[in-house]
């Protein structure tokens, strides 16, 4: 896609590509580049200081024992990374437990965030009156911040005073015991974000040609056969995108657990992001924390690559 995009863009550029006979001025390459970089400069300055710079600076920090309160940041090479793989070190146990928590959340939420939105998208893909109103309603919670949805559900799910327990007449420890805390966090996240995947999958469904369904019907395919032979293969590229984006979003879970379960009970729902932020910004262990963040990045990158590979092999 990038390739075609670059080719297309050159159509509009100045220079000798103008149609024969048209008077197209051509400027020297150096001057054209200078103009382009003038356009790029404000963004590139911000980008270098707050995106590119930090990505490299973080790697540098991760090679040190970096306590921001001390002037001296001793260089320790890969020790922070090695510590994470050394059982019994200060950080490894808690870190991998938090990675496990992130893993539990991801494994539990991603399938639900695929199946439920796909079901809703298939409902919306019918000839429905008020379809755009439904789409708007389903998407609405997603535009609310994680703090809003968290304080809301903290109230609804409060074990003693909450609405849900009052409505069902039970004393379920929604936010203070596992597995209930996980059920709550996953359920809230599904409620909050299902609109996003629904919209993307709906667009994918609309892209599947009606002729394919007709052909399947002529071949005598029932609804299930149409679903498995036409719908699912037709959705494959969109599905790859949705799976990747949903895994990454789930792996970045922070606010819900921070505000609703406070990482508890104990540290059972303390996710990797929560642990990294706490170590780096509250406990002042910045070297160890940045090392953790790069390790998390590496795991996520591996998962993404694996996901794309699997999707491609299935085709």
Instruction: Choose between 34 and 107: whose C-beta lies nearer to other proteins.
Output: 34
Q: How far is the CB of 196 from other proteins (least distance, A)?
A: 6
Distance of CA 122 to the CA centre of its chain: 23
Q: How far is the CB of 231 from other proteins (least distance, A)?
A: 15
Instruction: Choose between 87 and 301: whose C-beta lies nearer to other proteins.
Output: 301
Instruction: Choose between 40 and 306: whose C-beta lies nearer to other proteins.
Output: 40
Instruction: Choose between 8 and 88: whose C-beta lies nearer to other proteins.
Output: 8
Q: Where are the alpha helices (DSSP H) in 179-227?
A: 180-206, 210-218, 223-226
Residues 6 or more apart whose Cβ sits within 8 Å of residue 263:
257, 269, 270, 271, 274
CA distance 107 to 99: 12
Q: How far is the CB of 204 from other proteins (least distance, A)?
A: 6
Task: Determine phi and psi for 253, rounding to 5 degrees.
Answer: -60, 130
Task: Check residue 77 and give left, alpha or beta (phi > 0: left; psi -120 to 50: alpha).
Answer: left
CA distance 30 to 254: 47
Q: Where are the alpha helices (DSSP H) in the chain?
A: 2-12, 29-47, 53-61, 79-84, 92-124, 131-139, 146-156, 163-168, 180-206, 210-218, 223-226, 232-251, 255-256, 272-277, 286-314
Instruction: Choose between 40 and 90: whose C-beta lies nearer to other proteins.
Output: 40
Instruction: Choose between 31 and 87: whose C-beta lies nearer to other proteins.
Output: 31
Q: How far is the CB of 51 from other proteins (least distance, A)?
A: 5
Contact (CB, 8 A) for 267 and 195: no
Q: How far is the CB of 252 from other proteins (least distance, A)?
A: 6
Q: How far is the CB of 152 from other proteins (least distance, A)?
A: 5
């Amino acid at each position: 896609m990038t390739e075609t995009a670059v080719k297309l863009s050159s159509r509009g550029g100045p220079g000798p590509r103008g149609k024969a006979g048209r008077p197209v001025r051509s400027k020297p390459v150096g001057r054209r580049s200078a103009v382009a970089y003038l356009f790029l400069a404000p963004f590139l300055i911000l980008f270098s200081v707050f995106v590119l710079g930090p990505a490299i600076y973080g790697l540098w920090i991760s090679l040190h024992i970096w306590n921001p309160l001390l002037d001296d940041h001793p260089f320790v090479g890969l020790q922070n990374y090695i510590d994470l793989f050394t059982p019994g070190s200060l950080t490894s146990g808690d870190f991998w437990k938090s990675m496990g928590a992130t893993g539990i959340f991801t494994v539990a939420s991603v399938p639900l965030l695929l199946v439920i939105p796909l079901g809703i998208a298939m409902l919306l893909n019918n000839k429905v009156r008020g379809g755009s109103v439904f789409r708007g309603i389903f998407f609405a919670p997603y535009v609310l911040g994680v703090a809003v949805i968290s304080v809301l559900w903290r109230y609804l799910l409060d074990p003693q005073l909450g609405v849900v327990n009052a409505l069902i007449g039970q004393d379920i420890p929604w936010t203070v015991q596992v597995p209930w805390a996980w059920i709550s966090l996953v359920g809230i996240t599904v409620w909050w974000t299902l609109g996003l995947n629904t919209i993307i999958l709906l667009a994918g469904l609309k892209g599947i040609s009606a002729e394919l369904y007709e052909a399947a019907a002529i071949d005598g395919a029932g609804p299930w056969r149409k679903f498995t032979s036409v719908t699912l293969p037709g959705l494959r590229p969109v599905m790859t995108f949705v799976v990747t984006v949903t895994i990454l979003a789930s792996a970045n879970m922070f606010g819900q657990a921070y505000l609703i379960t406070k990482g508890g009970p104990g540290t059972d729902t303390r996710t990797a992001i929560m642990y990294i932020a706490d170590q780096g910004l509250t406990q002042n262990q910045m070297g160890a924390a940045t090392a953790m963040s790069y390790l998390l990045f590496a795991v996520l990158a591996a998962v993404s690559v694996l996901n794309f590979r699997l999707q491609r092999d299935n085709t």
